[in-house]
């Protein structure tokens, strides 16, 4: 049985990955800094450890006896979080640094690093009608301040551990992953979950208006979690090493996404545009040419299909709290 460590396993993507790895017959060790009762998903068949992976000794402890490592641990969230917590996001370099050192020491076979589309040059993302970002567009470097720099630096470290020590590294640049069993309130949530929550709240509280950060014209592409997990493990099992986009090419504005949620919820809302709130770059979309050619992968879920599943899960969670 293959032994694999998943760090950040109490988080959104990490929890879904652990579930799929169990289904594929892996023996999983899972770590997260959060207490167990705050993990989004926790599984009995897994060795679950509450560890801060920024601490070097914890990385050495967690990797001992493992064959592979999927590193999802970092401080992250939606635009509201990363724009207001740049120093905290930068400190995640300690996680990747210590994990790479531990992998070299324990002769780990494969190492996965979760990067982000925030690593891309922001000068290329000023137009809402942006074409897809290719992997080469990260340079010349001008990523999102804080979080984006941490991810780009982490990518370079992975590259050099591959070149200098032969560690089989995989690097994915995620483009706005969303879905059930994730954050939908509290400040770290991303746009799909936040907007679903706001529309649901307007229904439960009989309100007509929701707050929208920015003017709603900023564009993004969003990838459903099941597609993300499939692409991640496809990359992990491949021979590809350089950074690769894992995202959707279905680009929408925030206003267009609200329209989809209105259709799903059967509720039309008035928008209170908050122009002083963080809104990030004006346009961002994934170019999937490389992953299409290298891994023969395409997303299966449209944004509407994924939003419907996400909306239904968030609605059930909020309805429980509303009725308490």
Question: Tokens 């400040």 sit at which residue?
Answer: 187
Mean predicted confidence (pLDDT) in 264-277: 96
**pLDDT band, very low/low/confident/very high, at 75 (cuts 50, 70, 90):** confident
Query: Can you give the pLDDT at residue 39?
Result: 96
**Euclidean distance between CA atoms 139 and 133, whole angstroms:** 11
**pLDDT band, very low/low/confident/very high, at 233 (cuts 50, 70, 90):** very high
**pLDDT band, very low/low/confident/very high, at 232 (cuts 50, 70, 90):** very high
Domain 182-220+250-284+301-323 has CATH 3.40.1370.10: no
* Same fold across 3-177+223-246 and 182-220+250-284+301-323: no
Query: Can you give the pLDDT at residue 76?
Result: 83
Query: Can you give the pLDDT at residue 80?
Result: 80
**pLDDT band, very low/low/confident/very high, at 79 (cuts 50, 70, 90):** confident
* Active-site residue set: 147
Summarised one tens digit per residue, pLDDT across range 131-170 is 899 999 999 999 999 999 999 999 999 999 999 999 999 9
**pLDDT band, very low/low/confident/very high, at 225 (cuts 50, 70, 90):** very high
Query: Can you give the pLDDT at residue 70?
Result: 98
What is the rounded average pLDDT for all residues in the chain?
Answer: 96
Query: Can you give the pLDDT at residue 82?
Result: 85
Q: Which of 10-14, 45-49, 183-187, 227-231 bottoms out in mean pLDDT, i.e. has the lowest?
A: 183-187
DSSP 95-132: HHHHHHHHHHHTT-SEEEEEEEGGGS-GGG---TTPPP
**Euclidean distance between CA atoms 115 and 74, whole angstroms:** 10
297, 259 in Cβ contact below 8 A?
A: no
Query: Can you give the pLDDT at residue 46?
Result: 97
The answer on pLDDT for 1 being more than 80 is no
CATH superfamily of the domain spanning 3-177+223-246: NAD(P)-binding Rossmann-like Domain (3.40.50.720)
Query: Can you give the pLDDT at residue 10?
Result: 96
The answer on pLDDT for 63 being more than 80 is yes
Every domain of the chain and the residues it spans: 3-177+223-246, 182-220+250-284+301-323
pTM score, whole prediction: 0.95
In this structure, the number of other CB atoms found within 10 A of the CB of residue 142 comes to 16
């Amino acid at each position: 049985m293959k032994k694999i460590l998943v760090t950040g396993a109490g988080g959104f993507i990490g929890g879904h990955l652990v579930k799929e790895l169990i289904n594929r017959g892996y023996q999983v060790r899972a770590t997260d800094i959060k207490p167990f009762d705050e993990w989004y998903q926790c599984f009995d068949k897994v060795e679950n450890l509450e560890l801060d992976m920024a601490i070097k000794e914890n990385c050495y402890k967690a990797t001992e006896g493992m064959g592979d490592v999927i590193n999802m641990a970092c401080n992250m969230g939606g635009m509201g979080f990363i724009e207001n917590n740049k120093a905290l996001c930068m400190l995640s370099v300690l996680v990747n640094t210590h994990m790479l050192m531990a992998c070299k020491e324990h002769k780990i076979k494969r190492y996965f690093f979760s990067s982000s589309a925030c690593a891309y040059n922001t000068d290329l993302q000023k137009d809402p009608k942006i074409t897809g970002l290719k992997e080469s567009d990260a340079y010349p470097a001008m990523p999102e301040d804080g979080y984006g720099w941490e991810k780009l630096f982490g990518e370079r470290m992975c590259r050099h551990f591959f070149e200098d020590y032969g560690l089989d590294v995989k690097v994915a640049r995620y483009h706005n992953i969303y879905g059930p069993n994730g954050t939908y309130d509290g400040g770290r949530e991303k746009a799909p979950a936040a907007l679903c929550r706001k529309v649901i709240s307007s229904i439960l509280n009989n309100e007509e208006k929701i707050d929208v950060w920015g003017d709603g014209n900023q564009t993004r592409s969003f990838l459903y979690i099941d597609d993300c997990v499939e692409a991640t493990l496809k990359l992990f099992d491949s021979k590809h090493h350089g950074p690769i986009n894992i995202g959707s090419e279905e680009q929408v504005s925030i206003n267009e996404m609200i329209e989809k949620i209105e259709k799903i919820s059967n509720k039309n809302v008035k928008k209170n545009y908050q122009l002083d709130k963080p809104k990030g770059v004006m346009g961002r979309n994934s170019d999937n040419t490389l992953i299409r050619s290298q891994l023969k992968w395409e997303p299966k879920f449209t944004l509407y299909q994924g939003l419907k599943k996400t909306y239904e899960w968030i609605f059930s969670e909020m309805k429980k709290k509303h009725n308490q």
